[in-house]
């Protein structure tokens, strides 16, 4: 779809809701119809918080992108061009020194019809720049309401942990009818294990220890999850990645979720269960703020 067709999808300040997109330092508004990203979701993506013009946790995003390329056998991905490409896109889109959101889409590229990729296919990297999404301070102060999704995540170890372009499981879960005020839906895999939220990783606190689902067969290893566990190490807070059943929520003293854009949100309710942002959650929020996650400042 060309940019002229998107004129109605704009903020009051004129910035396009579909973002501004760049490829090889040129602004683009179309994608070739033969791109395998369109046909099969054959590619990867990263969504990066840009604060004061700088991509946050970029090293972790690039590590995951590189891992994804290895898992999908995408040969010679142009990952080395990402830092400079991001800075060009941020500046050109008018966010030099400001806050915004950047999205990297790495497609395997164009190819012949059929699932099997051609040896001639060349990876294509595109960078989108969007306005930053702001969230209510109450989410950080009081916590959010979550629900349990009816959908299930498929178990596929080769795809677990990485961000492929196929997010239909999350799309279906996010489209489910939920109770008023619900902000996030927690998802289980086909064996009934609690894995993650539609857009977040989930953590349960028992006493002074933190438990988070092991991402071995389903789900995404979020960069904020990684950053939080590093913070827990620094604060000497015990944690474990393990198999978690949904009924363990009933015994949890605290629950919270994380992602790269929000930082950390305490969870205050799930169905009839209730929690308050507790001391471990608050300590981790303070630690994240010290580690550069300004959203966690109360």
The answer on 145 and 105 residing in a single domain is no
CA distance 152 to 13: 39
The answer on 171 and 23 residing in a single domain is no
Q: What 3-state class would DSSP assign to 285?
A: helix
In tens, the pLDDT along 219-228 reads 999 999 999 9
Number of domains in the chain: 2
Q: What 3-state class would DSSP assign to 95?
A: coil
Residue 141, pLDDT > 70, answer yes
The answer on 143 and 17 residing in a single domain is no
The answer on 204 and 94 residing in a single domain is no
Residue 36's CATH number: 3.30.470.10
Q: Which domain holds residue 163?
A: 137-296
The pLDDT of residue 5: 36
The pLDDT of residue 180: 85
The answer on 224 and 186 residing in a single domain is yes
CA distance 207 to 3: 53
The answer on 141 and 170 residing in a single domain is yes
The answer on 173 and 209 residing in a single domain is yes
The answer to whether 125 and 78 have CB atoms below 8 angstroms apart is yes
In tens, the pLDDT along 155-201 reads 999 999 999 999 999 999 999 987 889 999 999 999 999 999 999 99
The pLDDT of residue 1: 34
CA distance 82 to 236: 34
CA distance 40 to 287: 40
The answer on 257 and 168 residing in a single domain is yes
Alpha carbon 280 to chain centroid, angstroms: 23
The pLDDT of residue 245: 98
The answer to whether 172 and 180 have CB atoms below 8 angstroms apart is no
In tens, the pLDDT along 239-249 reads 999 999 999 99
- DSSP string covering 31-67: --TTBHHHHH--EEEEEEEEETTEETTHHHHHHHHHH
The answer on 260 and 144 residing in a single domain is yes
The pLDDT of residue 128: 98
The answer on 106 and 59 residing in a single domain is yes
- The beta-strand segments (E) located in 207-260 are 209-213, 239-242, 254-259
CA distance 254 to 264: 13
- Residue in this structure with the two tokens 């269960």, named with its chain if needed: 273
pTM: 0.93
Residue 179's CATH number: 3.20.10.10
Domain end (from 105, 131, 157): 131
In tens, the pLDDT along 20-68 reads 999 999 999 999 999 999 999 999 999 999 999 999 999 999 999 999 9
Q: What 3-state class would DSSP assign to 123?
A: coil
CA distance 257 to 263: 8
Extract the tokens encoding 227. Answer: 């950053």
Domain end (from 73, 103, 131): 131
Kindly state the percentage of the chain with pLDDT values over 70: 95
The answer on 96 and 146 residing in a single domain is no
Domain end (from 131, 154, 172): 131
The pLDDT of residue 14: 52
The answer on 222 and 100 residing in a single domain is no
* Average pLDDT over the chain, rounded to an integer: 94
């Amino acid at each position: 779809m060309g940019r002229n067709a998107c004129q109605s999808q704009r903020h009051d300040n004129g910035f396009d809701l579909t973002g501004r997109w760049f490829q090889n330092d040129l602004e683009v508004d179309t994608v070739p119809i033969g791109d395998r990203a369109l046909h099969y979701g054959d590619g990867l993506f990263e969504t990066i918080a840009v604060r004061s013009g700088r991509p946050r946790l970029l090293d972790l995003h690039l590590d995951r992108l590189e891992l994804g390329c290895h898992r999908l056998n995408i040969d010679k991905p142009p990952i080395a061009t990402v830092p400079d490409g991001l800075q060009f896109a941020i500046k050109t889109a008018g966010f030099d020194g400001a806050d915004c959101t950047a999205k990297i889409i790495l497609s395997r590229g164009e190819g012949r019809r059929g699932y099997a990729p051609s040896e001639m296919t060349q990876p294509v990297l595109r960078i989108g720049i969007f306005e930053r999404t702001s969230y209510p301070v109450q989410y950080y102060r009081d916590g959010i309401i979550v629900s349990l999704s009816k959908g299930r995540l498929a178990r596929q170890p080769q795809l677990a942990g990485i961000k492929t372009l196929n997010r239909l499981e999350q799309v279906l879960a996010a489209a489910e009818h939920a109770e008023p005020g619900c902000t996030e839906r927690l998802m289980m895999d086909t064996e009934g294990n609690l894995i993650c939220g539609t857009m977040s990783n989930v953590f349960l606190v028992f006493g002074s220890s933190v438990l988070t689902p092991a991402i071995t067969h389903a789900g995404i290893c979020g960069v904020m999850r990684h950053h939080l566990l590093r913070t827990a190490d620094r604060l000497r807070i015990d944690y474990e990645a393990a198999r978690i059943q949904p009924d363990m929520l009933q015994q949890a003293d605290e629950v919270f979720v994380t992602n790269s854009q929000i930082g950390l949100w305490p969870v205050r309710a799930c169905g009839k269960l209730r929690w308050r942002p507790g001391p471990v959650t608050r300590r981790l929020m303070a630690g994240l703020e010290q580690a550069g996650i300004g959203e966690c400042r109360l």
